[in-house]
A = this chain, B = another copy of it.
Amino acid sequence: MPRKSEQKSKEYTIKDVAELAGVSTATVGRVLGGYGSASHEATQAVREAANKLHYIPNGIAQSMKKKTTKSVGLIVANICNPYFSSIARIVESVLVKKGYNIIICNTDEDGDREISYLKMLYEKRIDGLMIASALKESERKDSQFNMTYKESIPTIIIDREISNLKFPTVASDNFRGAYEATSHLIKLGHKRIGIIGSTISTFFRRVEGYRQAMLDHSLPFDTNLVFNKSYKNVKPGDVSEGIYATKNLLKYREYRPTAIFALNNLLTTGVLIAVNDLGLKIPDDVAVIGWDDFDLASLLNPPITVVKQSTYNIATIAISRLLQQIENPNTILNEEKKVILSTELVIRGSCGSNVTY
Chain A residues in the interface with B (C-beta under 8 A)? 6, 8-9, 11, 54, 56-64, 69, 71, 78-80, 82, 85-86, 88-90, 92-93, 96, 99, 101-106, 113, 117, 119-125, 147, 150, 152, 236-237, 239, 269, 272-273, 276, 295-296, 298-301, 329-330
A59-B123, A82-B237 provided; 8 other pairs, C-beta below 8 A?
Answer: A64-B64, A80-B86, A85-B85, A86-B237, A269-B295, A272-B299, A273-B295, A273-B299
CB distance from A97 to the nearest CB of B (A): 11
Cβ–Cβ < 8 Å partners of A272 in chain B = 296, 299
Q: Is the CB of B56 within 8 A of A60?
A: no
Distance of A78 Cα from B82 Cα, bound (Å): 12
Distance of A121 Cα from B101 Cα, bound (Å): 9
Distance of A82 Cα from B239 Cα, bound (Å): 14
Distance of A122 Cα from B9 Cα, bound (Å): 14
Residue in chain B with minimal CB distance to A116: B96
Q: Is the CB of B273 within 8 A of A71?
A: no
Cβ–Cβ < 8 Å partners of A57 in chain B = 123
Known: A103-B101, A104-B88, A295-B239. A64 touches B60 (CB 8 A): yes
Cβ–Cβ < 8 Å partners of A120 in chain B = 99, 101
Q: Is the CB of B60 within 8 A of A124?
A: yes
Known: A79-B89, A86-B80, A103-B101. A122 touches B8 (CB 8 A): no
Distance of A266 Cα from B82 Cα, bound (Å): 13
CB distance from A133 to the nearest CB of B (A): 17
Q: Is the CB of A103 within 8 A of B105?
A: no
